[in-house]
């Protein structure tokens, strides 16, 4: 991989790259749409991700090129940058902007990116390129920021530069991911535990619905807003910062305050999903994969009926999984509205599963899904 990218860099910039970095993508095992509600999430980094090769230039320019996109762009060195269009280079540009806000002056740099995470598939290609750029610049220019600072600034770029009000899960999982481990992250305190993700006789299959998520950003922000309405209603009786400070029992005592039916559904998902993550962590720790799988299905059901972020493509995948004898749990992962689902699939059935799922999915949706098996990998690294 890196030798091919080396050649592409040389071809684009007529010189050798000086440094190469990698940052992973992520899947979230369970705990969906609760990071921005101060909840518990259980993501892990995957071995697919984004590579960055770079070399300095004396032209006073920051140059962005990618093997995935035709669009090439250069920016003069200046104190601040703003998002100009919807192109891919806004993510790394936002990182330059944010690092400069933290008292750094960028120097001329030629950058070349390649990612093998399908874009817009819910595996966090955007957080991967953000964390990668922050990690690489921090290392290359010896800026001295710790990993958590890089996570927070990457999230800030997503929220303020790009304009998606996402939580911290993706950037955190990418920065702190460990091989064969899942993180159990409290998104309020940012305290986390690393637990063994021992899947025994099962593999984690990732199924891409291949559904584009055109409206996902606005729908995502709409869900964030709905949760804040629920919080406002509950605060008439209780003083809380986040919905996930309530477990199901406490929530039942105050839920009458939420009079709008839709808002009540959203808040109910959030509180119950948080409870499910606690149960899922116990199940994984005790090696009870069947219980873990049941919680995955319950999570999907709630995201379908209460949070309404699945859609017919993700539901078709999870329905198929539920009918397939060698899958013990499946759910959407990430923001939803298309993108990917994950499934716990018995080892040895990968081909059989892919064949039957493909037939079933084409019959229902009209085009094929894609199936990947990735390992759980480490966070960002200099290669």
Residues lying near ligand GLA in the complex (CB under 6 A) = 28, 32-33, 35-36, 166-167, 169-170, 334-335
Contact between 337 and 219 (Cβ < 8 Å): yes
Count of other CB atoms within 10 angstroms of residue 267: 28
Contact between 50 and 1 (Cβ < 8 Å): no
How near is the Cβ of 169 to ligand GLA at its closest, in Å? 5
| DSSP string over 173-215 | HHHH--TTEEEEEETTT--EEEEE---TTEEEEEEE-----TT
Backbone angles phi, psi at 327, to 5 degrees: -110, 135
How near is the Cβ of 298 to ligand GLA at its closest, in Å? 16
| Beta carbon nearer to ligand GLA, 289 or 335 | 335
| Beta carbon nearer to ligand GLA, 38 or 377 | 38
Question: Looking at residue 244, what DSSP letter applies?
Answer: G
How near is the Cβ of 171 to ligand GLA at its closest, in Å? 8
CA dihedral 143, 144, 146, 152 (to 10 degrees): -30
Tokens of 179: 């091989």
Residue 170 known to be catalytic = yes
How near is the Cβ of 295 to ligand GLA at its closest, in Å? 15
How near is the Cβ of 383 to ligand GLA at its closest, in Å? 26
How near is the Cβ of 51 to ligand GLA at its closest, in Å? 21
Q: What are the distances in angstroms from CA 197 to CA 145, 288, 295, 374, 381? A: 29, 12, 15, 13, 21
Three-state DSSP class for 94?
Answer: helix
| Beta carbon nearer to ligand GLA, 138 or 333 | 333
Single out the catalytic residue among 35, 170, 275, 315.
170
Nearest residue to ligand GLA, by Cβ distance, number only: 166
Contact between 14 and 113 (Cβ < 8 Å): no
How near is the Cβ of 6 to ligand GLA at its closest, in Å? 31
Contact between 42 and 183 (Cβ < 8 Å): yes
| Beta carbon nearer to ligand GLA, 335 or 371 | 335
Count of other CB atoms within 10 angstroms of residue 1: 11
| Beta carbon nearer to ligand GLA, 66 or 126 | 126
| Beta carbon nearer to ligand GLA, 35 or 315 | 35
Cα 9 to Cα 11: distance, rounded to the nearest angstrom: 5
| Beta carbon nearer to ligand GLA, 20 or 90 | 90
Pairing mode of beta strands 40-41, 19-28: unpaired
Three-state DSSP class for 373?
Answer: strand
Cα 154 to Cα 91: distance, rounded to the nearest angstrom: 9
The strand order across the sheet containing 181-186 reads: 40-41, 181-186, 192-196
Cα 277 to Cα 260: distance, rounded to the nearest angstrom: 26
Enzyme catalytic residues: 170
């Amino acid at each position: 991989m890196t030798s091919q990218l080396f050649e592409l860099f040389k071809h684009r910039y007529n010189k050798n790259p000086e440094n190469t970095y990698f940052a992973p993508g992520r899947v979230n095992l369970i705990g969906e749409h609760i990071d921005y509600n101060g909840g518990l999430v259980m993501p892990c980094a995957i071995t697919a991700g984004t590579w960055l090769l770079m070399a300095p230039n004396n032209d006073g320019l920051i140059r962005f090129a990618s093997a995935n996109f035709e669009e090439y762009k250069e920016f003069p060195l200046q104190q601040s940058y703003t998002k100009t269009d919807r192109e891919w280079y806004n993510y790394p540009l936002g990182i330059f902007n944010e690092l400069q806000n933290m008292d750094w002056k960028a120097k001329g740099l030629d950058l070349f990116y390649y990612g093998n995470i399908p874009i817009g598939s819910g595996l966090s290609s955007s957080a991967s390129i953000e964390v990668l750029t922050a990690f690489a610049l921090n290392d290359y220019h010896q800026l001295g920021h710790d990993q958590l600072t890089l996570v927070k600034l990457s999230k800030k770029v997503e929220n303020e530069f790009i304009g998606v009000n996402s939580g911290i899960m993706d950037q955190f999982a990418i920065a702190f991911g460990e091989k064969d481990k899942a993180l159990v992250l409290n998104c309020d305190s940012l305290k986390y535990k690393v637990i063994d993700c021992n899947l025994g006789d099962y593999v984690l299959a990732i199924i891409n619905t291949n559904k584009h998520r055109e409206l996902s950003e606005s729908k995502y922000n709409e869900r964030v807003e709905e949760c804040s309405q629920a919080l406002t209603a509950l605060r008439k009786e209780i003083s809380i910062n986040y919905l996930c400070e309530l477990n199901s029992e406490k929530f039942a005592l105050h839920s009458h305050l939420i009079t709008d039916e839709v808002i009540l559904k959203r808040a109910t998902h959030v509180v119950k999903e948080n409870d499910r993550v606690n149960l899922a962590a116990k199940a994984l720790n005790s090696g009870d994969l069947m219980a873990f799988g049941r919680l995955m299905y319950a999570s999907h059901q709630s995201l379908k009926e209460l949070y309404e972020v699945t859609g017919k493509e993700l539901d078709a995948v999870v329905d198929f999984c539920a009918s397939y004898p060698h899958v013990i749990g499946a759910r959407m992962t990430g923001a939803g509205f298309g993108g990917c689902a994950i499934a716990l699939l018995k080892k040895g059935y990968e081909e059989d599963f892919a064949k039957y799922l493909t037939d079933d999915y084409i019959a229902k949706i009209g085009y094929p899904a894609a199936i990947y098996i990735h390992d759980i990998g480490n966070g960002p690294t200099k290669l």
